[in-house]
Amino acid sequence: MFIQMLDLIKMTEEHLHKIPYLLQKLYSGNHNREWCSDLVKYSEVKFSKAYVVYQDGDIYDVTFNVDPDVFLRFFSSIKDLKELLKSDLQKLGLSGLRKIKISPDYERFQVINSMMKPVYTEWEEINKLQEKLFHQLERTTDVLDAKNIGNSSRSIFELLSDRVFDPNLHKSDKEGVDLSVGKYKNRLETFIRCELKGSENEELRKLAISAIDTLNKTIDLANTLTHKKAADTFIAEFCCVATISAISLIKMIKNKN
């Protein structure tokens, strides 16, 4: 009876706006529809009027722009999903429905520089964090994403400093330098100065310290962003480049001897 009454309702913009929320309620806790829940939840749903000759009433095409990761999960079932969604939308009152399109939302995904790759290290947790960093970069769309990349870079280097810094071997030649856990910049710079002593290592020492300093400034910048999307994406990618470069240098220094 409820569904029959919905069929008689002329769909307004307000009604259309509410349909995705009704779908989510329909699928929530419904074991037969559970696999549809994420697709609707992580989609931007758009309704566009279709002009059909000799057809009374409004006819709609419905597009689900889906989060790329969710789209890939359901890629092999897209055809079945379309049929299921079409049936459920009609039951919710959208009787004038011509077709459904399900596609990845490319605005939520960017292709990163193909030349930039994670640096393999002897520490599995750092390797996994690098993979997470690249995954975040692929999904960068706003300031919050760029800040998350900055936080991930900081986590990588706090962990890296714990792995390479040895308080019994690496002593600062400057007084008052805080080398406690979490002070990754001080720890890594002290590690570099101790491992690359002597005039023969001066240029490499300067380069490595400069790389750590650049990374630290980039992380700070990523965490204070208030710019537009283009700037956010640029800083996020620059942060990843600085991270990978610094990891590579630290790895080289550690393996030097």
d(CA 170, CA 163): 12
Higher pLDDT, 36 or 227: 36
Neighbouring C-alpha atoms within 13 Å toward the C-beta of 86: 15
Q: Given 3.30.70, 1.10.760, 3.40.50, 3.30.43, which CATH number is that of 2-105?
A: 3.30.70
Backbone angles phi, psi at 50, to 5 degrees: -105, 135
Most confident of 141-145, 187-191, 215-219: 187-191
Q: Which helix (H) or strand (E) holds 200?
A: none
Quick one: tokens of 221? 């910048």
Burial of 211 (0-12, 13-18, 19+ CB in 10 A): buried
Report the alpha-carbon distance of residue 146 to residue 229 in Å, rounded.
10
pLDDT tens for residues 130-166?
988 888 887 776 667 777 888 889 999 999 999 999 9
